[in-house]
Structures are given as structure tokens and as C-alpha cells.
A = this chain, B = another copy of it.
């Protein structure tokens, strides 16, 4: 009988004797490695946060205290300890347990997570609500050193430090930002981690004052002021009004628990700096933590991934590396996603022209604009969902001056198992509202290469190339020379699609052929500016239209086409828009989500029949 078998809620964790906690952590690690090797997930960060999470559950009651995760992919131990170990059997599948904290899944999940750097702001909001409403619970934010680089985290620290609200920020510093060498903040943390004098000073400081802390907070505050006036500020956190504790060995569970307990009881903004090791306890992940950040299935013994195939990201990265060889003004920018966006090779080939700014998408975008204004050709590779954070910079810094910044918009459309925080549902809507923005949608690797080439070397002004997670499908021709292209002729109905959705449209048309319906398939290559005349010319030949797109309904291509048709007096026999709708798309296998949204080939064929049939009846 293992310890883990008897953990059904955080109360069981609190009931364990301290000497059993090491064994519990060992069992959790073993379970995580075995479980994730089968179906993938975020491994390295979770292995690093086991002791920290156990300690948090020994101090806080997460059913009423509010523990706000930042990014949240390090929540697996938290899910295990809050009665959700069974969820790992259908983990990240449609209808199964999510890979990120979800309040609808458990009362122990205080807030949705998935994007970076928001946790301090959210936690401060909760702390202020508690104070305003006279409630009685504690609030903590758990943020990684990578997410701390994001500007919103700084905004949160600045306001929280000043607020005086009892609030604990736990900095889970696994050296992410330090290893990548991004930013002055990483350097600062690096110095803090290793500065012996600093730690000695803190030890003296706290050993003399901590035992009497609650009574001595006035004296403490005076003492600190005295030090400050003599230029001895401790660090940036202290500057912003936080009481700083650390650095603490994040794998010494007793120390971590003590520090968090003290911080909770201090009744003021406290930052606890915990040093953890990514991949801790699993040799392959300790050796190459980045390779085990987000993984697919792998061999548990060797750590060797079970599948590695070519995908749009890798094709993008190689194509960009080539373009940089042809034009020395080409530079690549990433916001802490060089692996995900396929830029490792670029960095190796052109280290001087590669810029990883850390989790700082807004800065990346504005910096790219500055580069473009002075003659570089910057290419910012970024996930669709993370580019949302740049909406203002797209308009203000890039579009207002019509600057030639290229956006490699990765993970567009249905992304899959990471769920609603990661689906690329909104980029068509927000990119097409940016003045002068050009948006290409390659459907395969050849088009990816030629559209990127056109975007970087030939176009002017802002350009985005929008491509999906994963690989290409049956359609392999390069049609990038045209804004729109009929890829299959037909007379009864037109199915319009773009990106890899074109593959579903083509198969649907073949299916319809079997039902006696001749469907024309039209592929759009340039989403913006949209060549509505060319599309409508082709559509009018069939008189009926279905537009299938992996994009939210608001501002989608289909609406723009139908509006143009109505405005120019074209009366279609039948028209239907199939897209991701106005809601949110949860986690699940991409093929399951495609079926759910009616975007798979079978559903498309059915909807065409329904549309034509329904119209025939009237």
C-alpha cells in the first residue's frame, strides 16, 4: 500500500507526519513519470514543484484560501493532492481532466490559468475583495521566474507592494529565465541565488527579528527604513514594498513549509523566493529540462520520445533560417518559445540575429517595430493565443507607421489538449482589424515556405503568416501565387476554407460527390485584405456557399464574405458559416474538437446536404 493511495484530499496531506513527506514526494514523481510517459503533458516543471506543492497544501486550505497559479501547467501535483488522481486516465481528452487549473473542475482551483504573468494581479484583486467584504481567507500567488519577466507581473507587484494587503507571492525559481539568459531580471535572480553575503545577512536579520515578528513589525519597519535611507535596499521586491524571504531550497520540504507559513502569518505583502530544479528526480529531464517541458508520449525508462515528426513550426524555423542567409537584415524574435516555434536552428545559425526576450510579448512586438523603423526585417514567431497580448502594440507600434514587421503566428486554429487558454481562435478576428495588416494562411509546408518568403522579402507593412499546430494533410500543391484558388471544381455548392481545414473541405467534397452533389472547393490564401470579388465570382457560379474556418465567429472570413455578397446585391440560394462560434473551445484531441465544432469532413458534407436540402424544401 503506497502513501499516495491514502491521499484523497489536502487534509490527508496535512495529517501525514513530516518524516513521511519525502516518501510521498517520491511516489508522486514516480506516478507523474509513469502517467505522462503514456500520453504526454508538462513533465519537467511538475517534477520540480512537487515539494513546493506539498508544502503549500500543508499550510493553506485551498478549499477556501485562494491559491492562484500562474501559467498553471505545474498544477499536476496539486490535482493529485486535491482528489483528482483518477483524472489522469483521460487526462486532457475531450470531457476529461484539464491540464491547467480550472475552477469548474474543483473548488481547489481558485482561478483559470494558462497565460503568463497574471497571478499577482488576480491574487491582489482577491485580497482586496476579502478586505472590502470583511471575509477571512488567505491569498497566495504561485509564479515562475519565467512569468515574472512579464510586465503584468511587475504591474501587479508594484500595486500589491504598495497596497499593504496580506498576500503571499511564491516565486518558483527554476532558473528558466536564467538558463535562457533573458533579461536583467534573470541576472538579478541569478545574483540573488548565489550571493553568500546576502544570505548571511538575511539569516542574521531574520534570526534576530523573526521570532518576534508580529509584535515587532513596527520596529522592523523602522529598521528597514533606516537601512533604506543608507542605500541598503535589499532587491527589487523590497523596493516595490514586499517583504522578501529567500532564497530557499525548494526541495527541502521543511524549509519551504516554514517559510510559507511565516509569510502567511506576516499579514503584509511577502515574496517567498524558492529555488527548484526543473525535471527533479528524473535523470533524462534533469539533463534536458527544456525537452521535457511539454512532451508527447515517451519511453519512461530512457526518456526517448515516441514520435517526432515534421510540423509547421519546424518548417517555419528552417525556412526562416534560410531567408536569414539570403538577407542579413532578417532577425528572429521569440518570447520564451524558441523550442515551440522551431527557432533552435535559427539561434544556432545566427546567434547575433536571434532575440529571446523571455515572456514579454508586448515588448517583443514594440521592439520589432523599432527594429523595422531602422531598417531591419524582424520576424516575431509567437503562438496565436499569446499574440493576443500584443493587440494594442499591433495597432499602435506597428500599424500606425505601416512598419514591416512579420508575425509567424503559430498554433492558429484548433490547438487541442491544452484547452481554451491555448486554442488559436481569435487571431483572424483581431489581426484583420489591424489597419494595413496582411494575413496569409498556408495549407501545407510548401506554401508555408513560399508565403514566408513573400512576407519577409517582398511585402511591405505588417504581415502575418498564420499556421496551425501539427503537420500538413493531403493537399500538397503550392498555390501561394494567388489570393484565392479553386482547388476542386464543382457546380452545386462552394465550400470555402483556408489553412489545413482545406483538407477537410476536399474530403467533404468527395463525399458529397457520392451523394450526387457537385461541390466546388475554394481555398483562400490571403485572409486579409480579402479578395472578396474573386471569392464571390467563384461562389456565384454555384449559388450556394459554406465557409469552414478554424476561427471564432466574430470578425471571421465567412461573415465578411456574406456581408460583401449582401452589399453587392448577390442573393445566394443558401449560405452557412461553420466556425468555432462565439464561445470557448475546451481541451481535447484535435480530431475530437473538429467533430464537436462540425469542422471535420463528415460534418461538413452533412451540413452541405442539410443546407441544400433544407433550401430545396422551401
List chain A positions with a Cβ less than 8 A from chain B: 66, 68, 103, 110-112, 114-115, 117-118, 121-126, 128-130, 132-133, 135, 149-162, 181-188, 191, 195, 197-198, 201, 228-236, 239-242, 329, 331, 352-353, 355, 357-358, 360, 362-363, 366-376, 378, 388-389, 391-393, 395-397, 399-401, 420-421, 426, 429-430, 432-433, 435-436, 529, 552, 554-555, 558-563, 565-567, 569-572, 574-577, 582-584, 615
Contact = CB atoms under 8 A, between A and B. Distances in A.
Contact of A552 (B114, B240, B433): B433
Nearest to A560: B559
18 contacts: A121-B362, A122-B367, A123-B370, A129-B376, A133-B375, A149-B158, A152-B363, A154-B155, A156-B363, A159-B182, A183-B240, A396-B421, A400-B584, A432-B554, A435-B584, A555-B555, A559-B563, A569-B574
Q: How many copies does the complex hold?
A: 2
B129 A158 contact: no
Q: Which of A329, A389, A577 gathers the greatest number of chain B CB atoms within 10 Å? A: A389
Top 6 closest pairs, chain A to chain B, by CB: A151-B151, A125-B370, A184-B240, A161-B184, A155-B363, A129-B374
Contacts of A426: 395, 433
Main secondary structure, interface of A, reads helix
Nearest to A123: B370
A126 to B, nearest CB: 4
A444 to B, nearest CB: 27
B68 A370 contact: yes
B229 A197 contact: yes
Given A122-B369, A185-B240, A392-B391, A232 B235 contact: no
A388 B399 contact: no
A554 to B, nearest CB: 4
A118 B566 CA distance: 41
Contacts of A392: 115, 388-389, 391
A346 to B, nearest CB: 14
B555 A566 contact: no
A374 B125 contact: yes
B130 A396 contact: no
A231 B196 CA distance: 10
A171 to B, nearest CB: 15
B360 A433 contact: no
Contacts of A235: 233, 239
A401 B183 contact: no
Given A198-B229, A435-B583, A559-B560, 16 more contacts: A110-B373, A118-B362, A122-B373, A128-B370, A150-B151, A155-B363, A161-B187, A187-B240, A236-B236, A236-B239, A362-B389, A388-B395, A430-B433, A529-B582, A555-B555, A571-B571
Nearest to A330: B132
Nearest to A137: B374
A152 B539 CA distance: 45
Contacts of A185: 158, 240
Contact of A184 (B187, B241, B329, B582): B241
Contact of A376 (B132, B186, B353, B372): B132
Contact of A132 (B121, B181, B331): B331
A125 B378 contact: yes
B421 A400 contact: yes
A367 B163 CA distance: 13
Contact of A231 (B153, B197, B388): B197
Nearest to A386: B392
B118 A555 contact: no
Nearest to A132: B376
Given A115-B392, A374-B66, A566 B560 contact: no
A128 B370 CA distance: 9
Q: Which of A186, A242, A529, A554 gathers the greatest number of chain B CB atoms within 10 Å? A: A554
Given A240-B184, A575-B566, A124 B370 contact: yes
A195 to B, nearest CB: 6
A331 to B, nearest CB: 7
Nearest to A419: B400
A151 B151 CA distance: 4
A153 B151 contact: yes
A232 B191 CA distance: 12
A470 B582 CA distance: 32
Contacts of A66: 374
B566 A562 contact: yes
A9 B362 CA distance: 35
A112 to B, nearest CB: 5
A126 B373 contact: yes
Q: Which of A114, A367, A421, A426 gathers the greatest number of chain B CB atoms within 10 Å? A: A367
A159 B560 contact: no
A234 B234 CA distance: 9
Contacts of A150: 151, 155
A400 B104 CA distance: 11
